[in-house]
Amino acid sequence: MYRMIKHLERLVEEDKIEENDPIIDLGTGNGVMLRELEDFGFTNLTGIDYSPSSIKLAAQICPNLVDHLFQADILKSDERFTAKYKIAMDKGTFDAISLTPSDKETAIANYSENVAQMLEKKGDYLFITSCNWTTDELKKHFSKQFELVTELKVPKFKFGGKEGSSTVSVLFSKL
């Protein structure tokens, strides 16, 4: 998480984003990402989660953001998913969604379409951390709506003669 937020800071320094750009945290859980974004100086934050208990918990962790937390299912169409965000953050939520055993393909397609719809314009960002997918796999999943900007370097490990990463953090931009 720290790595993702440090990268956002770099984008601020490079004048690619501003600290008051609207950011949505997808599947915010206990809101800890929002809390850290706040601590780093980002000021226009929203969190969504389909779990009411997550929203309650996030409201406790982020008391300044109670009016910016709402319950919503990213996979369903929702009139609140208006095109107003500059950055969508995802840490572990796409992983949870894409492991849905029932209809994985539809879940992935709906996620990608709905997230693209939340972003205001071409070039806006989806920043995702996954421990289930490689960058190439994420690229394929999102290829209709997003293109790769950069993959953050993460520590690699070696096991059984093969090299891998335990997680990937990847920045995409809206096509």
The site for ligand SAM (CB under 6 A) is made up of 27-29, 32-33, 49-51, 54, 73-75, 91-93, 96-97
* φ, ψ dihedrals at 148, nearest 5°: -70, 135
Least Å distance, CB 114 to ligand SAM, is 9
Q: From CA 161, how far away is CA 173, in angstroms rounded?
A: 34
Query: What minimum distance in Å lies between the beta carbon of 163 and ligand SAM?
Result: 25
Compute the distance between CA of residue 75 and CA of residue 88 in angstroms, rounded to an integer.
15
- Name the minimum Å distance from CB 149 to ligand SAM: 20
Q: Which is nearer to ligand SAM, 21 or 49 (CB)?
A: 49
Shortest separation between residue 71's beta carbon and ligand SAM, angstroms: 8
Q: Cβ contacts of residue 130 below 8 Å, gap of 6+?
A: 92, 94, 95, 138, 167, 168, 170
Which CB sits closer to ligand SAM, 22 or 29?
29
Q: Give the nearer residue to ligand SAM in terms of CB position, either 16 or 51.
A: 51
In the bound state with ligand SAM, the residue whose beta carbon lies nearer, of 22 and 47, is 47
Alpha helices in the chain (DSSP H): 2-13, 32-39, 52-61, 93-98, 104-118, 135-141
